[in-house]
Structure 1
Amino acid sequence: MCGRYAATANPDELIVEFDIDFVDDEMAEVCLPRYNIAPTDTVAGVVERAGDDAVSRKLVPLRWGLVPSWSKAPTATMINARVETLVTKPAFRKAAAARRCLLPAAGYYEWLSVPGADAKPFKQPWFLHPGAGTLAMAGLYEFWKGPDGWVASATIITTQSTDAMGWVHDRMPMTVPADSWDDWLDPALTDAAAAVSLLTTPTLDSRKVSRAVSTVGNEGPELISPLPE
């Protein structure tokens, strides 16, 4: 599972790295360095949408927690989508065939239950990250129309953790290699199974970090700083 993450790249950096054609007006605010992104937060997403003349790659705001188009209310909490059921689950299968995205991150957090000094266990957060560069997490996005307008939302695709990461959690985000971004984002690729075949599991480093990240309201670069051994 991925339930909290950090994203520190600014719009200019994302434009270069992901070859963006269009940047939504909100992105200057959305792309501030953020070290404690939580479900329902607005996050940066890379998508491709067909326009009048051609398909363009866009940097857009997406609410984290996918709301299916047929949902009666925008209260869905589907922050993750299991890759094993991506092409069959009603909430995800249409998006898997046409609305795939990338969610850039510096890394994500997982919590490991460990014994405390008084033998009472507590949850110790760990920051899992690629070491250098951006973690291009694979996602899906959807549009939901409500009384106040459209809501664009997204979910992170997860898979069973690799042996190297399974010690901290049994699920982990899937990523898309840079040489597969074009195909993954292409709305003309409607074969969801073929799209899923592009996904990979990242090789990640990990470090123990402050328990302050466990409180959603806490924010700042110190949250990803390693704790002294």
Structure 2
Amino acid sequence: MPDKPADYYYEWHTEGKTKTPYAIHSPNNEVLAFAGLYTWWPDKALPQDHQDYWTLTATILTRAAVGEVSQLHDRTPVTLPPSFWDEWLDAGQDGDQSLVDAAVAAATPVAEALEFYQVGPLTGNGPELVHPTGS
């Protein structure tokens, strides 16, 4: 089991109709934490006291890929350094575009340092998912 927000994330590099999976990680297996957003929204077609009236939705923010991972895909998650976690998670923070811009800027050194290697077909959900091809 991972002992941090994320050890890896996956990206598929596509050439023609061939999709090849890669595990992307930080050097020395340092922590990866992704900037995300969530919101609750009401389903106005339902009565307010209905159990499904409120729905939670969430997303991970992405940015233009930089560094070596840009060989795989043109986008990558916004990977926040630990020094930015408190600011991102501060409930009193204005969640506006300037905060998103600051998160992307803080994430740039992390994104530029990401490394990757090819993995086998992604089946199952165990630790074998991060084994390099041929291991």
**TM-score of Structure 1 vs Structure 2, range by shorter chain:** 0.7 to 0.9
Counterpart secondary structure, 2:103: coil
Counting matched residue pairs gives 121
Tell whether 2:12 aligns with 1:111.
yes
Alpha-carbon RMSD across the aligned residues, in angstroms, is: 2.3
Structure with more of its chain in strand, by fraction: 1
Report deviation, 1:220. 1.2
Counterpart secondary structure, 2:84: helix
Counterpart secondary structure, 2:19: strand
Find the counterpart in structure 1 of residue 75 from structure 2: 171
Find the counterpart in structure 1 of residue 85 from structure 2: 181
1:189-200 to structure 2, matched below 5 A, reads 189-190=93-94, 192-196=96-100, 197-199=102-104, 200=107
Q: In structure 1, what residue type is equivalent to 2:126?
A: G
Counterpart secondary structure, 1:165: helix
For residues 171 and 130 of structure 1, the distance between their equivalents in structure 2, rounded to whole angstroms, comes to: 16
For residues 111 and 180 of structure 1, the distance between their equivalents in structure 2, rounded to whole angstroms, comes to: 28
Moved over 6 A (4+): none
Find the counterpart in structure 2 of residue 30 from structure 1: none
**Structure 2 regions of 5+ residues with no counterpart?**
44-49
Report deviation, 1:174. 0.7
Higher relative contact order (Cα pairs below 8 Å, separated by 6+ residues): 2
For residues 84 and 67 of structure 2, the distance between their equivalents in structure 1, rounded to whole angstroms, comes to: 24
1:209 is matched with which residue: 115, 119, 124?
A: 119
Counterpart secondary structure, 2:87: helix
For residues 204 and 190 of structure 1, the distance between their equivalents in structure 2, rounded to whole angstroms, comes to: 29
Find the counterpart in structure 1 of residue 58 from structure 2: 154
Counterpart secondary structure, 2:70: coil
Report deviation, 1:228. 2.2
